Amino acid sequence: MSASSTSSGKQIDLRSDTVTLPTPAMRRAMAEAMVGDDVFGEDPTVNELEAQTAVVLGKEAALFVPSGTMANQIAVRTHTEHGDEIVVESSAHIYYYEAGGPAALSGVMCRCVTGRRGIFSGADLEAVLRPPDQHFPPTRLVCIENTHNRGGGSVWRLDQIADVAAVAKRRGLRLHMDGARLWNAAVATGVSERDLAAPFDSVSVCFSKGLGAPVGSALAGSKEFIARARRFRKQFGGGMRQAGIIAAGALHALHNHRSRLAEDHANAKRLAQGLSRLPGVAIDVESVETNIVLFRVTGGSATEFVRKLDALGVRMLATGADTIRAVTNLNVSGEDITVALEIIAAMCTGSGN
């Protein structure tokens, strides 16, 4: 069975949904894109992407940016002034994975709420909020992440969003959603991106994760908010010129790759079910809601497991001493999942090598 990877010669890459390569149709759209200087507002493809993203998210305007990190950090900067406080979940991408951006770029303090798989309640939020007082930094913004990356692709339901939004509104706080994988949340819940985004003042989305575009993210909000955000995009060095070439890939992804995320979710579920039957693996199959599969190895280190698996043609990411992440994506088929499970089973039972 261990010959499966070498027989096809294909690497089954489950490290992230960012490893996806543009499809031939996407490359064609990019090659043929009409372009202009976007800093002058003259790139028709960027303008179209921004307009259509705003429509999908139910906001007045959107801004095309190079990365999800920049979209989030521009949002933080646009909502705040130096010395303000923002509330983030303790394993949120904005706080955990963005290189200290809130401190470095916006000069804000982060106050953390610890959720369950990244999801917290209105009461959890209330518990960390302090009254206006000269001793305290003014709290300005609350961020949630949907789906939650380190939470294992966990989905915020509408009622959970409404609960947090009600507290934020009552306390006069702005709300930002890191929706890098909002597309996955929409497919998993059957609720539109627009409805999931409705309570938020700003939303960031990525085209370069599950949607499979090579580059690009967007930030959406009111016209006034996006006008201010546009200045910070320039200040942060994200003003691009003939960006229509990459915007065309994002536009193609927005139109053609959202509904197919259901396949990634089904593949993730089947991968989790297969893993749950193996010795030396601990996994909660129920916790797999979208395209991210988190599991533990019980008899060794995650790094070692991943290294061995890599040599057999299946790539995953060690995210802790004994935790591993696998993310299904556009470049991994149902058949690839079957092959990957055979390879992992052979490795775990020691029958393959």
Ligand X SMILES: *Cc1c(COP(=O)(O)O)cnc(C)c1O
Binding residues for ligand X, rule CB under 6 A, total: 13
Binding of residue 68 to ligand X (CB under 6 A): yes
Candidate list 145, 201, 289, 342; residue touching ligand X; CB under 6 A: 145
Binding of residue 309 to ligand X (CB under 6 A): no
9 backbone φψ class: left, alpha, beta (φ>0; ψ -120 to 50): left
The nearer residue to ligand X, 46 or 297, going by C-beta atoms, is 46
Closest contact distance (angstroms) between CB of 326 and ligand X is 15
Binding of residue 180 to ligand X (CB under 6 A): yes
Closest contact distance (angstroms) between CB of 67 and ligand X is 3
User: Around Cβ 15, how many Cβ atoms within 10 Å?
Assistant: 16
Q: CA-CA distance, 145 to 134, in Å (whole number)?
A: 30
User: Around Cβ 330, how many Cβ atoms within 10 Å?
Assistant: 22
Query: Of residues 1-20, which lie at the interface with ligand X (CB under 6 A)?
Result: none
Candidate list 91, 149, 291, 329; residue touching ligand X; CB under 6 A: 149
- Stretch touching ligand X by CB under 6 A, among 49-57, 124-132, 158-166, 201-209: 201-209
Query: Of residues 205-224, which lie at the interface with ligand X (CB under 6 A)?
Result: 206, 208-209, 217
Side-chain-side CA neighbours of residue 203 (13 Å): 31
Binding of residue 178 to ligand X (CB under 6 A): yes
What are the C-alpha distances in Å from 344 to residues 12, 260, 272, 280, 317?
12, 26, 12, 11, 14
Token digits of residue 234: 């320039």
Candidate list 11, 67, 121, 319; residue touching ligand X; CB under 6 A: 67
Binding of residue 69 to ligand X (CB under 6 A): yes
Four-residue CA torsion sign, 79, 80, 84, 86: positive
Four-residue CA torsion sign, 78, 84, 87, 92: positive
Q: Give the interface with ligand X as residue ranges (CB under 6 A).
A: 67-69, 72, 93, 145, 149, 178, 180, 206, 208-209, 217
